[in-house]
Structures are given as structure tokens and as C-alpha cells.
Structure 1
């Protein structure tokens, strides 16, 4: 009987997702979308070396690091815009994944084809470009192309980071080279897209592809996504991140995915 009740709850949850994809990002008390662009709100649990200010629709992030070959600090400017939906906003999972890339350093990305899924503002892929990658593609739906292209220009990364439309419903249509590294931050929020996301990862990855996957657990139905994912991928939580305890308290997890050989 409890199982039947849970299934009914999940069905109702899915129906509400179709009507309102952004509802899991909302403040349940007032029904308003909670945009994590407020510096105090973000810095309450973001990595200590991430600093943020917002001026006139431009989000400015500053990352400290110890890499002698890079400017100190590493600065990034982002145009943010909620009008295209949740994709035009810089969410914490993206900043956490970007910080992890900075911790790994330039050598980690050198000579690799890098693809960011569901890029939105392009935050994570842009940081890859700032770290020296010359073969990074940031991807999303066509409605978000203008924001991503503007952010590339804003950070003078035209020769390092490239945009490409990537619809998860037809991922094989992309002309991007096979990626060596796939980056995905906060892509698990709209349940009807769960199978599309798994199929997209499956079509893009080989057994040699490294996938860094950062997500925030928001509801019970998220386990459906991982139920689909485990048929084609294995994963392990990244435990060597010094910021892990802080973001784990906010239900954010950073995983490394690997495609199964017999998938």
C-alpha cells in the first residue's frame, strides 16, 4: 500500500512538472522563483575561494587559486537573464563544478575536447576556457544561444569556447567532435527530460569519456533519473573536493560518471 501511494505521488509530481517545469526551483511559501544571484545567498555555501558581485545584470565571479600560469584571481563576467527560464541563471551547482575544474588546473583540461551540457549562461565551459582549454563547446537550446555568445565575447574567449545548439531530443544532430570530457551542472530538474538526458549522455560518451556531473537533489522523483542512468552508466561521488562538506549540506553532489562497457 505505501508503494502504491508513492507511485501516485510521483505521477502527480510528473503531471505538475509538465505544467510548470520551474516549480522545483521555487520558494514554496510564496510561489516565487528563488534566483540564486544574491551574493550573500550564494556565498553562504559556495566554495570559500569564489567571490561574487552583481552589477546591472552582469554577474562577476572571482576565483582564487595557486596556479602560476594563470591570472590571480581568475575573473569571470556573466550576463544573467531569467526571461529564457531557469537556463539564463547562474545556479550554485555550476559554480561548484567550475571551482572543481579550477582546483584541477590547466593540465587537467589540456588537449581535450570538452562539452558542457545544458550550459545556460555557459559558466562551467567558460571557466574551462579561462583555464586554457581551446576546444570547449557550450551547448543548450537555441533560446539560450544569445546569452552564451554574449558571455563568450564578454570574457574574450572567442578563440577558445564555442556555442552549439544541442537538443536532447536529437543529440546526434550535433557537429561537435566526440568529447573527452563532458560537464553537466544542475541538469536534473525536469522529469519528462530525464530519459532524454540519459540518451544524450549515452550518444555523446564512449567508455573512455569522463563525465563530471553536479546536481542538487530537489525531490523524491530524482531517483527515477538515477534508475534510468544506472542502466548505461556507473558513478562515484568525488570525495577529494575540500568544499564537499559545505555543498553536501545543501543537497548538492558532485559525481564522476563512466559509461558501462556493455551499455
Structure 2
């Protein structure tokens, strides 16, 4: 038998080393490849490894790596994802290998090199990470939320889940009766975490909005969590009653083009991590002025990370909200996490001044 591992063996190992899910953020972040309460067959199934691949791999291992001689020991390779340095060294060797014993099948060679490269990308920080599913399990009263996150660039930051949305979701989970008044509008909803949390808490008049390139993934995430969704403009246009989460395109620079607004406006407007440029405070002012109802009890909920370079822009936002007649009624400092480490956030509630 050849000393070189055949295609089935290499691809099986690479599949075992591939983490398709990730849980939470920061100190609670972890891959989903737990092994204590999962059978080997469950792991093989989750990694899309066939019975034939398992059998072929164990047969080869029996002659070359005798320590891996059972399905359980083979499945335990998935735990090596926690040993980042050694894993990258191994994957680099795979990519550097000419795989001459597979030279008769260039497709197999390319698949192995590509698969190894994708795993390295997933270990190289959020900006390099390919598509994956994040599971959020740290929101009180909600067992789990699944969020598909495509690979991101600086042009599609809304395809990533940001720590501010998790902190906002955690607050809403235990204060929602106090903080939420329907209808609810979320601006810049991104992957949909906050809106999905609100839906799972039982609210039915909820609208999530973002830019066109973001809304498709957001809507898919709503449905991934067993909540119904639809296009908010279609619901308004048809005047039909809809119980579920509405998703739609709302460009902050052109809020007047949004057709989904109820006649009286929204009683709760939510923004999580909304500031990335000097233009955003002005756009937010315009959107809130148009979308927020004039009810005395309507409110804006803001969760904003305290990034060092954005102090002046944050203050500009507070000033502009005051300028249109809103007043700050609560401010809280929170500590949390993002993919990039520990982060502090400020939470604010704004309501119309009584004179309005």
C-alpha cells in the first residue's frame, strides 16, 4: 500500500478540520465542534463525510497511523481546530505539496489545495474568513439564534454580525416590555440579530431595513430561525395584515424613497453600531425625523461602540438628535465583545421633548 495518503484520506481529514459554525463572541466564542456529547457518526454527518470515506480512511490509517484505528479516534481529529499554530503548519504543508501521487486527477489536487486554503483563511481573522454560520447562545430567554455570515469586505460590513447588536439583543431580552413599543423599525439591521431576537420574544409588527446588498442575507437569516418574513413594501402596498418580520431596503441618504412606513410612523426605532463616517449622523437625523412617530411615548434605542477615533462623530449624533427635538432619557455604559476583542458600548434612549 502506498505511503502517500489517497484522496479520500486527505479530504476526510480536511473536512474534519473545517469548522462551519462559530458560537458567540469574545471569551464565549468557540467553534461548534464539541465532541463530549456527540457520536462520531453525528460528526461525520455534520462534516458531510460519507461512510465510504470513513471506511477508506480507517483502512489506510490501520497500516500507516495505527493510533487512529476507530471511528471515535478519527472523529476526534475535529478537536484539533483549537490548536491553531500546529493546524496552520499542517495545512501549509498540504498546500505546498505537489501531490504527485494524484497527478492523474488534477481536480482532486485542486480541491485539496483549495480546501486547505479555505481553512487557513477561516483561522486568519474575521476579514479573511469565508462563509460560515454563527450561533448565538448568550441571549437570556432565547436558546439559540443562527446567523449566516458571508465573507466580508469594507463594502459590505452589514454581512457581519457586530458586537453592538448582541449587546442590544441581550438588553432587549430582559427589558423588552419596557423598551419596545410596536410598530418597531430597525435601521441598519445587518444580519438581523436584533430583529430576530425581537421576533423570538413574540413581537409581530417588526420591520428590519438595510441596503439592497444586505437585505437578502438578512431575510434568509430571519427564515433560518423559523420566523416568517416578507418584503415590507409589498405588505404596505397590498394593505394586507401580516404577522411576522418585514424586511426592506432603506437608504439613509434617501429615506423619503422608503414606502414601508406606517402613516403614523414607528413607535420604536433601533440602531446598533450605526456610525462609520461623518455623513452618518446627518443621515440618521433625517431618517429618525421621518420615521419616528410623534407620539409622546415613541423612542429611539441606540447601542454604539466607543471606538477611539469616533468620539467627535458620536457627539455630533447626540447634538443632531437634540436639534430635531429629542431628549436623552437614559444612558448606560456596557462591556462586551466583538470578533476583534473586548469592546465598550454606550446605550441611549431618546424620546421627544414634552413640549412637542
The TM-score with structure 2 as length reference comes to: 0.53
Q: Tell whether 2:42 aligns with 1:59.
A: no
CA distance in 2, matches of 1:110, 1:195: 25
Of residues 265, 280, 304, the one that matches 1:193 is: 280
CA contact (8 A) 2:181 2:298 kept: no
User: Match for 2:159 among 85, 88, 99?
Assistant: 88
Structure-2 residue corresponding to 1:146: 216
- Structure 1 residue aligned with 2:299: 210
Gaps of 5+ in 1: 1-36, 45-50, 66-71
| Residues 38 and 238 of structure 1: CA distance in aligned 2, closer, same or farther (over 3 Å) | farther
Runs of at least 5 residues in structure 2 that lack an aligned partner in the other structure: 1-20, 33-130, 229-242
Whole-angstrom CA distance in 2 between matches of 1:135 and 1:235: 25
For 1:195 and 1:94, how far apart are their aligned partners in 2?
Answer: 21
Is the CA contact (8 Å cut-off) linking 1:53 and 1:60 kept in structure 2? no
CA 1:129–1:108: 2 relative to 1, 3 Å: farther
Pair 1:39–1:142, CA change in 2 (3 A) = same
TM-score of the superposed pair, with normalisation by structure 1: 0.70
| Structure with the bigger percentage of helix | 2
C-alpha displacement at 1:52, in angstroms? 5.1
Change over 3 Å in CA distance of 1:64–1:140 after alignment to 2: closer
Larger Rg: 2
2:290 and 2:354 mapped to 1: Cα distance?
13
CA contact (8 A) 2:161 2:191 kept: yes
- The 1:217–1:132 alpha-carbon spacing in structure 2 relative to 1, beyond 3 Å, is same
2:135/2:144 contact within 8 Å kept: yes
Partner of 1:31: none
State the Cα distance separating 1:173 from its structure 2 match.
Answer: 2.8
Q: Secondary structure at the match of 2:289?
A: helix
**SS at structure 2 position matched to 1:250:** strand
> Aligned pair in 2 of structure 1 residues 110, 160: CA closer, same or farther (>3 Å)?
farther
Q: 1:38 & 1:60 partners in 2: Cα distance?
A: 6
Please state how far the C-alpha of 1:98 moved relative to its aligned partner. Answer: 0.5
The match for 2:253 among 169, 192, 201 is 169
